[in-house]
Amino acid sequence: MKAREPALIGDIGGTNARFALTDLATPSPQILEEHTFCDDRFPTLRDAALEYLKQTGVQPKRATLAVAAPVIGDQITFANRAWSFVRSDLQRALSLDRLELINDFGAIGWAAPRLDPSQRVPMAGGITEELQGPVTLIGPGTGLGVGLLVGPQEQGWRVVETEGGHATFAATDDEEREIVRWIAVRHVRVYNELLLSGQGLSRIDAALRGVQPVPLPDPQPGLRTPKEIVDAALRGNDANARRALDRFCNTFGSVAGDVAMLHGTHTVLIAGGIVLHFLDDFRRSGFMQRFTDKGQYVPYMHRIAVQVITHPNPGLLGAAVAMRSRSANAE
């Protein structure tokens, strides 16, 4: 389907750069001609975007890109990849009249109210047609994304972009303290993302296997990839992998519960690329036990609905929604 008023949308994470078109002439956001580039193919975001536009043969005048970085000022630097760029330079290079940037978990916030109920899998509580706000958005991928959606819907949702993945991690038991000591050999400060991400799972696994940590900047030997750990855990023949994955889920539950309490949330939406690779196992894990295990506030935590987003590309959807919403507000 050819777009009558094409605009560029993108979801630029720490591992993949996803691009698509959306048609501003249609009544609702659409994702058209989607394509994903892996990190190592292009040296810069500019090169990846230009290649996508070359492949599609389209020259849009507007773009909204969701980026895994704080969106502050003209200079954008990614937290978990070597890319950086100047917003105004990228706009000129792509021949755009208008370039908008949003945080990648801000994009999840924009997408959340547009998700079909079938694209939200329950961990706790029921699935309602409309979200009950405030909504915490959280999810491990290359990093740990955290955002907030403030409602109610009748008054118009407001997306709050945060960097909660970089908040200092608080260990709650001896095993977590052991992992923190391991990570602290390599990092000055131990923050949530260093455990709750793809590489975080690798660190947990190495720490629990007794791999000797090596101070930065030297490379850390003995790390298994997240895929190796998940696959081994699901096969059921690797006790170390099973222990690491269980710890990952438990720790994720504890941190997600803390964030929900800080936000005063009614709904938690889990996104990110990791848990979808073992969703059935995740739903049986200790995540919810640790999520609700907040002492005298257990009843408070049990009132919160927790759901996993299964939409294949909520970041692209969110970029398309944000573009339309901001255009409407500007008119």
CATH number of domain containing 270: 3.40.367.20
118 located within any domain: no
Q: Give residue 30's region: left, alpha or beta (phi > 0; psi -120 to 50).
A: beta
Domain count, the chain: 2
Q: How far is residue 172's CA from residue 150's CA, in Å, rounded to a whole number?
A: 29
For 204, the 3-state DSSP assignment is helix
Length of the chain: 331
124 located within any domain: no
- Indicate if 301 and 318 belong to the same structural domain: no
Cβ burial, residue 215 (10 Å; 0-12/13-18/19+) = exposed
CB atoms near residue 294 (< 10 Å)? 16
Over residues 301-312, the pLDDT tens digits come to: 999 999 999 999
Please state which of the ranges 35-49, 165-179, 185-199, 290-304 shows the lowest mean pLDDT.
35-49
First-to-last alpha carbon distance for the chain, in angstroms, is: 28
Which pLDDT value is given to residue 292?
A: 98
Which pLDDT value is given to residue 309?
A: 97
- Indicate if 103 and 185 belong to the same structural domain: no
- Indicate if 93 and 224 belong to the same structural domain: no
Contact 7, 62 (CB under 8 A): yes
148 strand-pairing partners: 136, 160
313 pLDDT tier (thresholds 50, 70, 90): very high
- Indicate if 102 and 198 belong to the same structural domain: no
Q: How far is residue 52's CA from residue 286's CA, in Å, rounded to a whole number?
A: 41
- Indicate if 224 and 259 belong to the same structural domain: yes
Q: Which residue has the higher pLDDT, 327 or 15?
A: 15
Over residues 265-290, the pLDDT tens digits come to: 999 999 978 999 999 999 999 999 99
What is the pTM assigned to this prediction? 0.92
Average pLDDT, the chain: 93
- Indicate if 218 and 175 belong to the same structural domain: yes
Over residues 89-131, the pLDDT tens digits come to: 999 999 999 999 999 999 999 999 999 999 999 999 988 888 8
How many angstroms separate the Cα of 149 from the Cα of each of 107, 118, 199, 207? Answer: 11, 20, 27, 35
**Is residue 216 pLDDT above 90, yes or no?**
yes
**Is residue 329 pLDDT above 60, yes or no?**
no
Which domain does 102 fall in, by range? 6-110+313-330
Contact 191, 168 (CB under 8 A): yes
- Indicate if 10 and 66 belong to the same structural domain: yes
2 pLDDT tier (thresholds 50, 70, 90): low
- Indicate if 298 and 183 belong to the same structural domain: yes
Can you list the pairs that 238-244 forms with residues at least 24 positions away whose Cβ atoms lie under 8 Å?
Answer: 240/205, 240/208, 240/209, 241/205, 243/208, 244/201, 244/204, 244/205, 244/208, 244/209
- Indicate if 204 and 86 belong to the same structural domain: no
127 located within any domain: no
- Indicate if 305 and 318 belong to the same structural domain: no
**Is residue 328 pLDDT above 80, yes or no?**
no
Q: Quick one: what percent of the chain has pLDDT higher than 70? A: 96
Which pLDDT value is given to residue 39?
A: 63
Give the distance, in angstroms, between the CA of residue 274 and the centroid of all CA atoms in the same chain.
9
**Is residue 192 pLDDT above 80, yes or no?**
yes
Cβ neighbours for 317, distance < 8 A, ≥ 6 positions apart? 29, 31, 107, 110, 111, 114, 115, 311
**Is residue 51 pLDDT above 70, yes or no?**
yes
Write the DSSP string, 219-287: --TTPPPHHHHHHHHHHT--HHHHHHHHHHHHHHHHHHHHHHHHHT-SEEEE-SSSGGGGHHHHHHSSH
CATH assignment of the domain containing 106: 3.30.420.40
Which pLDDT value is given to residue 205?
A: 98
**Is residue 326 pLDDT above 90, yes or no?**
no
- Indicate if 10 and 70 belong to the same structural domain: yes
Cβ neighbours for 138, distance < 8 A, ≥ 6 positions apart? 105, 144, 145, 146, 147, 164, 255, 256, 259, 268, 269, 270, 271, 272
**Is residue 179 pLDDT above 70, yes or no?**
yes
123 located within any domain: no
Which pLDDT value is given to residue 1?
A: 56
**Is residue 40 pLDDT above 80, yes or no?**
no
Over residues 240-264, the mean pLDDT reads 98
Which pLDDT value is given to residue 173?
A: 96
**Is residue 3 pLDDT above 70, yes or no?**
no
27 pLDDT tier (thresholds 50, 70, 90): confident
**Is residue 231 pLDDT above 60, yes or no?**
yes
149 located within any domain: no
Residue type, 221: P
